[in-house]
Homo-oligomer: A and B are copies of this chain.
Amino acid sequence: MSCYKGKYADELIANAAYIGTPGKGILAADESTGTIGKRLASINVENVETNRRALRELLFTAPGVLQYLSGVILFEETLYQKTAAGKPFVDVLKEGGVLPGIKVDKGTVELAGTNGETTTQGLDGLAQRCQQYYKAGARFAKWRAVLNIGANEPSQLSINENANGLARYAIICQENGLVPIVEPEILVDGSHDINKCADVTERVLAVVYKALNDHHVLLEGTLLKPNMVTPGSDAPKVAPEVVAEHTVRALQRTMPPAVPAVVFLSGGQSEEEATLNLNAMNKLKTKKPWTLSFSFGRALQQSTLKAWAGKDENIKKAQDALLTRCKANSEATLGTYQGASALSEGASESLHVKDYKY
């Protein structure tokens, strides 16, 4: 048997296609407790459950925002939380035409004998967890594999191990009704140029898609969440058109057309950078048999977070900031974004954190 044909096949294909709707994208709100704590700390808000709940309520109930989203990725705690009025978040999302998603990996661990390279854990009992998440309303999942570029990195071991982990995760999700977002993030850290990033990205994606084929994953029921192809964080920046050209070419060389959509990670780019790069890709006149959209965390929430600062009286201002970024990225998926004349505070701020873990 070449690929999954089980009971969820049609539903997986339909949900993956829905997430790939042009004009929509994903809000990645799946920061683990530790990571969201850092975000809250940056605006002097205490990392307690009520504050984590309140932040997510601010995001999910922001007027006008859900129309620009096809999915929201949640952390496990959030999947079971409700609005202050008692409405489950998953219902808020579903009523807004947004599919709830769930982060299912359990973070990275180091690979012995490598120079700090990692693999991702989370396969143990994953089938049962997926079933529970499906019952709770989740319809897609996310698993982040991390690679880095260095003198001898990524190593063949790291590429193989991470690709295999992604493939095992993906087929288990599909067997249990969740569309797997496949995320092989190649960190932007380093002084390498864009061509090096392109070479590594193409090599990694080729391995990933071979692994998915080996494990009988139904490509029409998956999504890819890759890094954009850019220079390293310590190298000079290039224009969005250059990022677009290299990124789309890398996908043309490795990603089968059966995959319905790519939802890029923002990986430390500022809000505006990420939007401009996505926009440039969608303006490019070349073969693109998949939707090119977003799955942004920091690049959707930065201005919102700063505007909120943890104060109720700022909620409306914060929600307006989120709406601005969602609308901008929606336009970017259509190649119609005109650029922001007056950027919110934080919109052009680099969100790069060296060797990012979350």
Task: Specify which of B3, B198, B255 is in contact with A202 (CB 8 Å cutoff).
Answer: B3
- Decide yes or no whether A312 CB sits under 8 A from chain B: no
Interface residues on A, range: 20 to 34
- Decide yes or no whether A237 CB sits under 8 A from chain B: no
Q: Chain B residues near A198: list those with CB within 8 A.
A: 2
Q: Chain B residues near A202: list those with CB within 8 A.
A: 2-3, 213
- Decide yes or no whether A219 CB sits under 8 A from chain B: yes
Copies of the chain in the assembly: 2
Distance between Cα atoms of A207 and B214 in the complex (Å): 9
In the assembled complex, the CB of A289 is this many whole angstroms from the nearest CB of chain B, namely: 4
Q: Chain B residues near A255: list those with CB within 8 A.
A: 256-257
Say whether chain A's binding surface is mostly helix, strand, loop, or mixed. Answer: helix
Q: Which of A68-76, A105-113, A246-254 contacts B (4 or more CB under 8 A)?
A: A246-254
Q: Are A257 and B287 in contact (CB under 8 A)?
A: yes
Say whether, besides A3-B202, A199-B1, A219 and B256 are in contact (CB < 8 Å).
no
Q: Chain B residues near A258: list those with CB within 8 A.
A: 249, 252-253, 287
Distance between Cα atoms of A207 and B2 in the complex (Å): 13
- Decide yes or no whether A55 CB sits under 8 A from chain B: no
Task: Specify which of B2, B200, B253 is in contact with A219 (CB 8 Å cutoff).
Answer: B253
- Decide yes or no whether A354 CB sits under 8 A from chain B: no
Q: Which residues of A contact B (CB under 8 A)?
A: 1-3, 198-200, 202-203, 206-207, 209-210, 213-214, 219-220, 249, 251-258, 287-289
CB-CB nearest 10 A-B residue pairs: A2-B199, A206-B213, A252-B258, A210-B210, A287-B289, A289-B289, A252-B257, A2-B202, A253-B258, A257-B287
Write 9 A-B pairs (CB below 8 A) sorted by A numbering.
A3-B253, A202-B213, A206-B209, A209-B210, A210-B210, A213-B254, A220-B253, A252-B257, A257-B257
Known: A252-B257, A254-B256, A255-B257. 8 other contacts (CB 8 A): A1-B199, A2-B198, A206-B209, A207-B210, A210-B210, A219-B253, A252-B258, A257-B257
